[in-house]
Amino acid sequence: MTIGWHFDNTYSKLSNKFKEEIKPTPVHDPELVIINNELAKSLNLDFSKIDKKKLAEIFSGNSLPEGTNTIAQAYAGHQFGHFTMLGDGRAILLGEHLTNKNNRYDIQFKGSGRTSFSRSGDGRAALGPMLREYIISEAIHSLNIPTTRSLAVVKTGEKVVRENLLQGAILTRVASSHLRVGTFQYIAATQNLDELNTLVDYTINRHYPEIRSSKTKAIDLLNLVMEKQCQLVINWMRVGFIHGVMNTDNMAISGETIDYGPCAFMDEYNPKTVFSSIDKFGRYAFSNQPPITKWNLARFAECLIPLIDKNEDSAIKTASELIDNFQNIFEEKWLNMMRDKLGLFGNDKNDKILIKNLLNWMKNNKADYTNTFCHLMGIETNNEIYKDDNFKNWIDEWEKRSKLNNSSKEEQINLMKKTNPIVIPRNHKVEEALTDADKGSLKKINELLKVLCNPYFDQENIREFQQPAQGINKKYQTFCGT
């Protein structure tokens, strides 16, 4: 009865600067809530022959798999612009699991007890936010966007104290690594060049082996991370995802979406959309995500300065030029992504205006971001606003531009169908499912997950999952996932 774990832990072999060796705090009465068998299979793990009680022991950390070497990772971060020393305050890395193809994945518990980085926190997590991370990260994965994933959630059988008493839970998170911009900030802050070099080499070995023997590793790494992050934020903009807390500690060097706290998907198109209750000034609003990505990359670049050039002025000049180019790279990629959303091949000098006109119309008419593109693909969403004359005029312009494509309507629709999701995790649907889960019923979560795992396909009976929130539910607010 083997599960198939194959731990090979490289991060825990780094010096103690990088981590604290610590075990998860055992929990009182663990109970399995959900397990992701499809993800397990892709990791060459098989839990099908393990009974639920044993699974609860495993995913609560009460019984650690062989080969693990549990640590809490050190990192720092700019939180809403302010630099702080952080670290895994409620997460513990079990180790790195290797798949049959030698792909390496971090297996991490979130909510597994206090560590030396916990500050005033209890090291625990509540069931709602952990299931929310499970749903949204799996949805993001199915939308073909790089992300950490969720393998299991257990209830701990203990209460956590937040505004109310809540059920405690632990999420098992799978990531290609947990290296963050904040990891570099932590090491850079100690001004130990050897350790900074170690971190750069470690990162390159793990994520960017193609520059292993480069003579300009630091600048190459910066370039590659910039490319990955740019692509990631474009993907978020494509599907209307708002991360909500793009602090530098929540920005993965691998380019995966990480740390699902107050994130949510936008319904009505408004570039200023913010869901997080603590984001009072809209720092992480929908349209601010690209400039914040650039800001975070600048913080990453600062860490690398001593390795870019021995002459600090030259290093700063090189790094600044690179970061300053982010806007140009982003603009071009964004334009191409929007062309895909509209099924436009090639390019035309008026494309930007055409796209901006649609976005302006959507904003002025409070049109649903996802459903507007569905409407353009001929998927009915029963909305009267598309009868608006201004919208019809825009359609005429779009059709004129489409004819420049030299391609068929079918090709156009195929491109759009690959780019525009039909279903996203609608906030009210997620909340409904979480409310039921808190009472012990997983029926709605399972229904939701089933629909969300095929977001580009017009499935039967999904109309209720396509509708944006109505009435009071429209004023959606999220809270940090603590």
Binding flags for Mg ion, 258-277, as an x/- string (CB under 5 A): -x------------------
Give the chain's radius of gyration (CA, Å): 23
Tokens standing for 140?
A: 């993001």
Tokens standing for 57?
A: 């022991």
The verdict on 81 binding ligand AMP (CB under 6 A) reads no
The verdict on 368 binding Mg ion (CB under 5 A) reads no
Among residues 108, 229, 248, 250, the one that binds ligand AMP under rule CB under 6 A: 250
11: Cα separation from own chain's centroid: 22
Between 74 and 218, CB nearer to ligand AMP: 74
Between 106 and 259, CB nearer to ligand AMP: 259
The verdict on 261 binding ligand AMP (CB under 6 A) reads yes
**Least Å distance between CB 247 and ligand AMP?**
7
**Least Å distance between CB 85 and Mg ion?**
13
The verdict on 121 binding ligand AMP (CB under 6 A) reads yes
The verdict on 86 binding ligand AMP (CB under 6 A) reads yes
**Are 419 and 340 spatial neighbours (Cβ–Cβ below 8 Å)?**
yes
Q: Which stretch binds ligand AMP (CB under 6 A): 165-173, 192-200, 245-253, 450-458?
A: 245-253
The verdict on 60 binding ligand AMP (CB under 6 A) reads no
The verdict on 259 binding ligand AMP (CB under 6 A) reads yes
Between 259 and 268, CB nearer to ligand AMP: 259
Among ligand AMP, Mg ion, none, what does residue 455 contact (CB within 5–8 Å per kind)?
A: none
Catalytic residue at 249? yes
Which of the following is catalytic: 249, 259, 279, 368? 249
- Distance between CA atoms of 452 and 58, rounded to whole angstroms? 27
The verdict on 25 binding ligand AMP (CB under 6 A) reads no
- Distance between CA atoms of 428 and 399, rounded to whole angstroms? 35
SS3 letters across the chain: CCCCCCECCCHHHCCHHHEEECCCCCCCCCEEEEECHHHHHHCCCCCCCCCHHHHHHHHHCCCCCCCCCCEEECCEEEECCEEEECCCCCEEEEEEEECCCCCEEEEEEECECCCCCCCCCCCEEEHHHHHHHHHHHHHHHHCCCCECEEEEEEEEEEEEECCCEEEEEEEEEEECCCCEHHHHHHHHHCCCHHHHHHHHHHHHHHHCHHHCCCCCHHHHHHHHHHHHHHHHHHHHHHHCEECCCCCHHHCECCCCECCCCCCEECCECCCCCCCECCCCCCCCCHHHHHHHHHHHHHHHHHHHHHHHCCCHHHHHHHHHHHHHCHHHHHHHHHHHHHHHHCCCCCCCCCHHHHHHHHHHHHHHCCCEHHHHHHHHCCCCCCCHHHHCHHHHHHHHHHHHHHHCCCCCHHHHHHHHHHHCCCCCCCHHHHHHHHHHHHCCCCHHHHHHHHHHCCCCCCCCCCHHHHCCCCHHHHCCCECCCC
**Least Å distance between CB 87 and ligand AMP?**
6
The verdict on 113 binding ligand AMP (CB under 6 A) reads no
Between 84 and 383, CB nearer to ligand AMP: 84
Which residue has its beta carbon closest to ligand AMP?
Answer: 121
Among ligand AMP, Mg ion, none, what does residue 146 contact (CB within 5–8 Å per kind)?
A: none
**Least Å distance between CB 79 and ligand AMP?**
7
The verdict on 108 binding ligand AMP (CB under 6 A) reads no
Among residues 108, 250, 419, 420, the one that binds Mg ion under rule CB under 5 A: 250
Between 262 and 343, CB nearer to ligand AMP: 262
Binding flags for ligand AMP, 189-228, as an x/- string (CB under 6 A): ----------------------------------------
The verdict on 122 binding ligand AMP (CB under 6 A) reads yes
- Distance between CA atoms of 219 and 308, rounded to whole angstroms? 6
Among Mg ion, ligand AMP, none, what does residue 121 contact (CB within 5–8 Å per kind)?
A: ligand AMP
Closest CA to 103 of 2, 178, 29, 176: 176
Among residues 19, 124, 228, 417, the one that binds ligand AMP under rule CB under 6 A: 124
The verdict on 60 binding Mg ion (CB under 5 A) reads no
**Least Å distance between CB 163 and ligand AMP?**
13
Among Mg ion, ligand AMP, none, what does residue 482 contact (CB within 5–8 Å per kind)?
A: ligand AMP
- Which of the residues are catalytic? 249
Note the residues at the interface with Mg ion (CB under 5 A).
250, 259
Note the residues at the interface with ligand AMP (CB under 6 A).
86-91, 117-118, 121-124, 245, 249-250, 259, 261, 480-482
